Amino acid sequence: MTTLRRSLSSWVVVVPVLAVVVLAAAWGRKPSALVVALVALVLGGAVLAAVHHAEVVAHRVGEPFGSLVLAVAVTIIEVALIITLMLSGGPETASLPRDTVFAAVMITCNGILGLSILLGALRYHVVQFNAEGSGAALATVATIATLCLVLPTVTTARQGPVFSGSQLAFAAVAALVLYTAFVLTQTVRHRDFFLPVTVDGEVVHTEDHADPPTTRGALVSVVLLLVALVAVVGLAKVESPAIEAGVAAAGLPPSFVGVVIALLVLLPETLAASRNARRDRLQTSINLALGSAMASIGLTIPAIAVATLFIDVPLQLGLGPTQVVLLALTVVVATLTIVPGRATRLQGVVHLVLLAAFLFLAVNP
């Protein structure tokens, strides 16, 4: 176990430094196919390393600031990928933020949630969770998603699925307010609502937690987190032409680029949620799934709204009819899953089929 921990620790230290070296070597050049593959591999490793160091810092500073550290780090990665692709793609990428955020909602609310329930139910048959906190999180996700992704389709201030300037500002502020209110509720005022429960519905206040890192360890993680984020932003810029070319060569719609970004950004949360589900900590998995969905909209949309002040690209946030149907069905199914406070493998399979439907329709719209 000690050897494993040491190898993991060395891995998350080496990867950010390696990513910066690869970035310096590839910057300003037209990379070959082999270099593109290497950059993609290092980019994925840098994302995982950045999230790891954000978690270390979050553990050290405690709540509610710890959750904000992790959410902000992941949001920086997501926004960096979106903006770099928008800068290189021009007007054709006007819907990329919408495609990425919507993909994140589908992946978290169906993929991560469904996989966690299925893994937990396969081992424990029936899994328990706190319906009060999970329901509040789902309601917040549904509200933010509707305000930011559905309303632009039906507003009339501007032609097309776009907000006017004042509408975009209102949606961005509303999303940020809702996310902030949820974080304070989850970590300060009503923390019990987001803790695991027993079979009898009693809240479990005592859980085994690792000792917080030392101040020195946290400072090292802060430095490595900054290095990893710089590397992610730069490598995303290097990799962006290859991502777009690869999607086009595969005959996939341009909107599938958003799915690729969401899958990359949400990989760490998926792994963490799966581990917790297998350990009978489904409440933690649900917190990760819905919290990631909320941060993806509540932080990314305001950040992109500010970025559009400097990027001359019209921002198309409104979902199409097919996407609206999938979002509505996801909210209804997730509500029926959350309300009882317990679930079986059936609910997990239902959510995973919804994710499969989203991926299939993203490839064959």
Measured between alpha carbons, how far is 182 from 83 in angstroms, rounded to an integer?
27
pLDDT in tens, the chain (365 residues): 444 455 445 778 888 888 888 888 887 777 777 878 888 888 888 878 877 787 787 677 654 455 567 667 777 777 777 877 777 666 677 788 888 899 999 999 999 999 999 999 888 888 888 888 888 889 999 999 999 999 999 888 888 788 888 899 999 999 999 988 888 887 777 666 666 665 555 555 555 455 677 878 888 888 888 888 788 777 877 777 777 777 777 788 878 888 887 887 787 778 778 887 888 878 888 888 888 888 888 888 888 888 877 777 778 888 999 999 999 999 999 999 998 888 999 999 999 999 999 999 998 87
**pLDDT in the model for residue 365:** 79
**pLDDT in the model for residue 63:** 46
Nearest CA among 71, 84, 59, 129 for reference residue 284: 129
What's at 53, amino acid-wise?
A: H
Nearest 10 degrees: CA dihedral of 119, 120, 121, 123?
90
Read off the DSSP letter of residue 109.
Answer: I
Taking phi over 0 as left and psi of -120 to 50 as alpha, with beta for the rest, 132 belongs to: alpha
Which H or E element spans position 168? helix 165-184
**pLDDT in the model for residue 281:** 79
Residue 203 near residue 195, CB atoms below 8 Å: yes
Residue 355 near residue 106, CB atoms below 8 Å: yes
Measured between alpha carbons, how far is 187 from 275 in angstroms, rounded to an integer?
22
> 2-363 falls under which CATH superfamily?
NCX, central ion-binding region (1.20.1420.30)
**pLDDT in the model for residue 201:** 54
What DSSP assignment string belongs to 225-260? HHHHHHHHHHHHHHHHHHHHHHHHHTT--TTHHHHH
Which H or E element spans position 343? strand 342-343
Measured between alpha carbons, how far is 355 from 98 in angstroms, rounded to an integer?
17
Which H or E element spans position 363? helix 345-363
**pLDDT in the model for residue 204:** 59
Measured between alpha carbons, how far is 246 from 242 in angstroms, rounded to an integer?
6
The half-sphere exposure of 115 on its side-chain side, counting CA atoms within 13 A, is 20
Q: Which residues are bridge partners to 203 per DSSP? A: 197
Please state the pTM of the whole predicted model. 0.82
**What would you report as the CA-atom Rg of the chain, rounded to the nearest whole angstrom?**
20
**Burial of residue 19, with CB atoms counted within 10 A of its CB: 0-12 exposed, 13-18 middle, 19 or more buried:** buried
What's at 14, amino acid-wise?
A: V
